[in-house]
Chains A and B, each alone.
Chain A
Amino acid sequence: MVTIAFKDLALTNAAKRGMPRERICFTPHPVWGKTDEQMYAYLEGNDPVSGKPLMKEVVAALTDPLTAEDSKSGTITPPVGAPTFTGTVDSLQQQFLDNGMTDFLPIILPTREKVDAMLKATSHEPDEIVGKMTPAQGAFPAWTFTVEQVAVNAVMAGALPDYFPILLAIGSTGISALFSSTNSLVSAAIINGPIRDKLQMNYGIGAMGPFNQANATIGRAWTLMSKNLDGGGVAGETYMGSQGNIINYNNLVIPENEKDSPWPPFHVQKGFKPDENVISFFFGFDITQGQGGKGLGMKPIPHYQEAMSANVAPFASLFGALFIVDPLVAHGLGDLGFKTKEAIADWLQKNTTVTVKDVKTMLFSGLPRGAEAANLTDDSIIPKWPKADAFSFVVCGGQTNPYHQLANMSYRLSVSIDKWI
């Protein structure tokens, strides 16, 4: 029994998993937040898809004999179209858009010549399998893809060949930037190492905005890959975010401002050498700016730590807190005595607290389990996150203002870019 909002998803999913004739019964949507009486009325009413009495359909689904089609076994291979398309510049631009192969913005048409130029930027063979990707683990089968298929998407996004190893590294993780959930979630990538300067990435003024080709196209290519390499990003089918998220166009691409940071770079924290080129992934709910928070206007020294702690009040503890701090903030925190990322993470973990009562009203936040939980009452005050490793810090920005941004996101993993050169 599925609520009607998930009709297309349920039907295509059953088919993709090999049971195209599964007997799915639909109820009105939503059931969340409805009273017992309202729900019983659903049961006495009709299936909004078939128009037939719902419970009669449920009983029939379990008792009507199977047809020959229902009992079929075997395999089918879903087609993805011809290996190449031929047309005029304008008709191809339109064809890619109509076929859902773009983000609905203009692309560079992936001609053989341009794809070959991209392929020259890696030592890996064009037909080597890079990885597997799915719009949501468990919900959809993963597709595989080759170096050449990543190259086609890289060209489309407007990436230069020099950027290609980064895109292969992203592909190798199998992380989709368009994760399918009814939440409208977002992804971020932190770039570390000398490649930031080699590619002239922007980690200064306007780092996260539309001011640099590498930042812009690497982020965009990730979304195009997430549509084309795994069949993702089809709204209502492989993308279910009710409201969607604007960050999904280009994702958050954050090259760390290593030279102006008083702290070790992010990849070094994760065990890599400073001269290695590394991309690190975060996932969760969105990003916001911190300068509206309490404490930042304190005279004469801004109380960055208080602002940060206040900023994360509505965050879900399901994901962590990623702070993207201007170098001025990193130095300012040092002036306040927080000399390391660990020191500020530790302070934030201890001082960012919630009452048990409040946690119970938060959909994506959890209470401690086990022995710790035994003595808690509604009025108990507990840390919002049980461990300091929920807090991550990356230094980025042009030092025009001591501001920070923050994302309700968790660290996932870091991978080497150098492997893909």
Chain B
Amino acid sequence: MGIPSAPLVTKAFKDLALLNAAKRGMPHERICFTPHPVWGKTPEEVRVYVEGPDPVTGKPFMREVVDALTVPLSEEDKKVGNLSVSVGPATFTDTADNLQEFYLNNGYTDFLPIIVPTEQRVDQMLKATSHHPDDVVGKMAAGAYPAWSYNVRQVAANAVMAGCRPEYFPIVLAIASSGMASLFSSTNSFAFAMVINGPIRDKLEFNYGIGALGPFAQPNATIGRAWTILSKNLGNGGIPGDTYLGSLGNNLNYNNVVIAEHEDASPWVPFHVQKGFKKEENVVSLFRGLGVVPGQVARGSSANENVQFDYQMSDLFSTFTGFFGALIIADPLVAARLKEQGYDTKEKLIDWLYKNTRQTVKDYKSRNYAYLFDYPRALRGDEPWATWYKLPDDAVIPHFPRASDFNIVVAGGQTNAYPQAGNLSYGVSVSVDKWT
């Protein structure tokens, strides 16, 4: 801005704030710290913070704020130029056991065993794509820092580590090319999901039947895991306290939710076709949000012939945040029943869900994410939030801002008519074929 500024940061974010300032080129930024948290404190409690010392330096907080704006800059503070950052040598040499330990201790892994990415194994992986090992694949910023870039060889090393077979490599490249990380710097513990479509599901023997989301098939397991490992190594993510801040963490971050759509058993158009791809194209679609929950417990699920899957899903979604969308993962039995009920297209079901999943303005405003994300958009005049914030408390509004916040995929082994649903938003679909 060119005018002096003083950032006030709560102590929980000390390391983050210092590192972030440094990584963004201002290593001497004058940051003033208050005790953590300020959320949930009364004005009287916060006044004690303001009158008290900075918990990092021990100096009076407000004197520090004034000093930050008025003490003249040193020569160091005024410096311009470039700092280059090292990630170590291109290869490491040691015994297999020592390398296994070395990769783990250096934070290159998810703390589970890897296949050590020897040059030979990486070369095998590289043979599965026509792209040159030095081609730049993309850029990724898993933390709140400038993005890192990476080439085909670097992606291959991560794919080997995750346990991927070379045939899986084009999917991993497609994911990497999206620049979307599966670890995200937020105090929320976000979760990520991918939907796989096209003939590659059968070619690679993805599991979209019994136990589709569980530990029962190599492509589902290793491709999901590769996304997290590459988000750490290529996107600089996943360092707790620095590039990862989720207070509680999320078990889904190990392998991410990998959903190969059961296209043959679905009465509906496959997901990638909805997104404009041809049926025979191989496509990976990425999602982000809070997590996945079972649907068979909600209202409408009762054990009679009138199981109301539409009503059941709507009930489930009432506990979701509308900030993220709703991804329905329907067992083929659920999809077939919904079709019998008259939902012969995904769009018809989405339309019903959008219109019938509703909330009062009062409930909406009491949601944390409404204040955090939607209210500032309303301030800017973005719709529908600007209108929603002008409505009276007892007005009834849709739970999700747009019908396009709903997505539906079909997966499962038809042992029971149960759906799952993710509080997840669609991000992007990427062609896998481009990376073969």
State yes or no: do A and B touch (Cβ within 8 Å): yes
A residues near B, CB below 8 A?
Answer: 5-6, 29-30, 32-35, 89, 93, 97, 103-108, 157-158, 178, 182-184, 202, 204-213, 215-217, 219-220, 223, 233, 235-236, 239-252, 285-289, 291-303, 306-307, 310-311, 313-316, 324, 326, 328, 332, 335, 358, 360-365, 396-405, 408
Quick check: which of B82-90, B130-138, B171-179, B290-298 contacts chain A, the rest being far away?
A: B290-298
When the two chains form their complex, are residues A205 and B244 in contact, meaning their CB atoms are under 8 A apart? yes
Q: Is A184 touching B213 in the complex (CB atoms < 8 A)?
A: yes
- The one of B221, B254, B305, B324 in contact with A104, judged by C-beta atoms closer than 8 angstroms, is B221
Residues of B221-257 contacting chain A, CB below 8 A: 221-222, 224-225, 228, 238, 240-241, 244-257
Given pairs A247-B252, A248-B214, A298-B366, 8 additional interface contacts (CB within 8 A) = A157-B112, A236-B209, A292-B320, A292-B423, A311-B319, A326-B247, A397-B248, A399-B247
A269→B188 CA distance, assembly (Å): 29
The answer on a CB contact under 8 Å between A213 and B111 is yes
A125 CA / B205 CA spacing, docked (Å):
42
Interface membership of B284, Cβ < 8 A: no
Per the bound structure, the CA–CA distance linking A89 and B238 in Å amounts to 29
Given A246-B255, A288-B291 in contact, is the A212-B111 Cβ separation under 8 Å? yes
CB pair B301–A297 under 8 Å, yes or no, is no
Shortest distance from the beta carbon of A12 to any chain B beta carbon, whole Å: 14
**B149 sits at the interface (CB 8 A):** no
The 8 closest A-B pairs by CB, nearest first: A292-B321, A244-B214, A209-B249, A244-B211, A401-B187, A182-B416, A210-B110, A206-B249
Which residues on A sit within 8 Å (CB–CB) of B212? 243-244
Nearest CB of chain B from residue A145's CB, rounded to whole Å: 20
Q: Counting CB contacts under 8 A, is B395 at the interface?
A: no
Q: Which residues of B contact A291 (CB under 8 A)?
A: 188, 290, 321, 368-369
Interface residue? B115 (CB, 8 A): yes
CA distance A158 to B101 in the complex (A): 10
Give the distance in Å from the alpha carbon of A362 to the alpha carbon of B300 in the complex.
6
Q: Is the CB of B213 within 8 A of A245?
A: yes
**Interface SS of chain B: helix, strand, loop or mixed?**
loop
Q: Contact at B241–A398, with CB atoms within 8 Å?
A: yes
Interface residue B420 (Cβ < 8 Å from any Cβ of A):
yes
Chain B, interface size: which category? Answer: 35 or more
B102 contacts chain A at the CB level, 8 A cutoff: no
Find out whether the CB atom of A205 lies under 8 angstroms from the CB atom of B319: no
Nearest-Cβ distance from residue B417 to partner chain A, whole angstroms: 6
Are A297 and B240 interface neighbours, CB within 8 A?
A: no
Query: Secondary structure at chain A's binding surface: helix, strand, loop or mixed?
Result: loop
B415 within 8 A of A: yes
A250: chain B residues at CB < 8 Å are 112, 251, 254
Contact indicator B113/A108 (Cβ below 8 Å): yes
Q: Is B323 an interface residue (CB 8 A)?
A: yes
Asked if B261 is at the interface (CB within 8 A of a chain A CB), the reply is: no
Smallest distance from the beta carbon of A11 to chain B beta carbons, Å? 15
Evaluate contact between A294 and B248: CB separation under 8 angstroms.
no
Residues of chain B from 376 to 396 with CB closer than 8 A to chain A in the complex: none
Kindly identify which residue among A240, A324, A365 contacts B415, using a CB–CB cutoff of 8 Å. A240
| CB neighbours of A303 from chain B (8 A) | 366
CB-based nearest B residue for A324: B248
Q: Choose among A108, A242, A300, A399 the residue that contacts B40 (Cβ–Cβ < 8 A).
A: A300
**CB < 8 Å neighbour of B240 from A204, A223, A288:** A204
Closest to B113 in A: A158
Q: Is B302 an interface residue (CB 8 A)?
A: yes
Residue from B100, B215, B414 in contact with A103 in the complex, judged by beta carbons closer than 8 Å: B215
Q: Is the CB of B412 within 8 A of A242?
A: yes
* Contact present for A241 and B210 (CB under 8 Å): yes
Q: Is the CB of A314 within 8 A of B298?
A: yes
Q: How far is the CB of B213 from chain A (nearest CB, A)?
A: 4
Bound complex: CA A377 to CA B292 (Å)? 34
Given the complex of chains A and B, what is the CA–CA distance between A252 and B189 in angstroms? 14
CA distance A285 to B293 in the complex (A): 8
Let me know if B331 is at the binding interface, CB within 8 A. yes
Closest A residue to B311 by CB, please name it: A361
| Chain A residues closer than 8 Å to B258, beta-carbon distance | 246
Q: Could you tell me the distance in whole angstroms from the C-beta of A337 to the nearest C-beta in chain B?
A: 14
Partner of B244, one of A105, A211, A241, A408: A211
B331 contact set on A, CB distance < 8 A: 242-243
Which residues of A are found within 8 Å of B244, using beta-carbon distances? 205-206, 209, 211
* Interfacial residues of chain B within 175-229, with CB under 8 A of chain A in the complex: 183, 187-189, 207, 209-218, 220-222, 224-225, 228
Q: Are B214 and A246 in contact (CB under 8 A)?
A: yes
Nearest-neighbour CB distance to chain A for B72, whole angstroms, equals 34
The verdict on B12 contacting chain A, using a C-beta distance below 8 Å, is: yes
Alpha-carbon distance A380/B246, docked complex (angstroms): 41
A209→B246 CA distance, assembly (Å): 9
Report yes or no: A182 in contact with B418, Cβ–Cβ below 8 A.
yes
Q: Decide: A361 and B366 in contact? CB cutoff 8 A.
A: no
